[in-house]
Amino acid sequence: MRELLTTIPETDVLVLLAPEELGGVILRLLNQRFPNPTDQFHWGNLSGELWPRSSPGPKYEANRETEVNASFVEAWSWLEANGLVVPTPRTGSDGWRMVSRRGRTLRSEKEFADFRGGSLVPKELLHPSIVDTVWVSLLRRDFSSAVFQAMRQVEIAVREASGFNEGDHGVPMIRRAFHKENGPLTDLNAQEGEREALSALFAGAVGSYKNPHSHRNVQMDDAVEAAEIVILASHLLRIVDARRSNSPAPASSSDRSDLS
């Protein structure tokens, strides 16, 4: 790919880049060279352009051709594995490719970094109650929505597991649920300091990351920070699941009437 020779002319730099780092550079160059959605290219032809035998200009070190080619192939494979470069609809496996619809949205370093940040969270790590909505929001780089959706689900899960009413919400409800002495989700077998710490953890997470998004427009443009908060929400949801399974079932209405 001839543009790569001027963008990254140093052989040492090229071979030291991780596949996703070099893949980001290649994708930006592809979008510049092939700006139309129907543009097609052959990856073999592009890799061959890395070694202009007779033309003037920058060249990679000839004795490191194997390293350079391996770096290019690894980066190209990463682009295909992430659906950023795809086979053309009709030619299939004969080497002709095109930039995907998602790939065409990643034209700047910032957009590519956001995509990588969103893809930092494998679906398997997310709690089932948030995987469908939150993971898609991360991939779409809608980080504010992803954080709000995740922490709102924490609030909902705590309320439902505690048996509270629909009108109960926010930090006060979280504090009641994990009250160190009589909270329905507190673990009385744990030490008092641990019970207080877990209450503070849940209240701090909901108060810091869910409540501000409920009351005003809060822009979040850091993909890594959003991914970290979503992972935290997933962890909190699993704690609620564990407390729910270990807690006795709430008394039915008939049981409560017998006790009155």
Amino acid at 15: V
Instruction: Please give the structure tokens belonging to residue 132.
Output: 């469908």
3-state class of 58 per DSSP?
coil
What's the pLDDT score for residue 34? 94
What's the pLDDT score for residue 247? 60
Largest interatomic CA distance in the chain: 95
250, burial (CB in 10 Å: exposed 0-12, middle 13-18, buried 19+): exposed
Query: Cα–Cα distance between 247 and 184 in angstroms, integer?
Result: 8
10-residue block means of pLDDT along the chain (260 residues)?
A: 91 92 93 93 88 79 92 94 88 79 87 72 86 83 89 95 91 94 92 94 92 59 86 95 70 39
What's the pLDDT score for residue 125? 84
3-state class of 41 per DSSP?
strand
Which residue stretches of the chain are H helix?
2-7, 11-16, 19-33, 43-48, 65-81, 101-104, 109-118, 131-139, 143-162, 170-177, 192-205, 211-215, 223-246, 253-259
Question: Going edge to edge, which strands form the sheet with 96-99?
Answer: 41-42, 96-99, 85-87
3-state class of 219 per DSSP?
coil
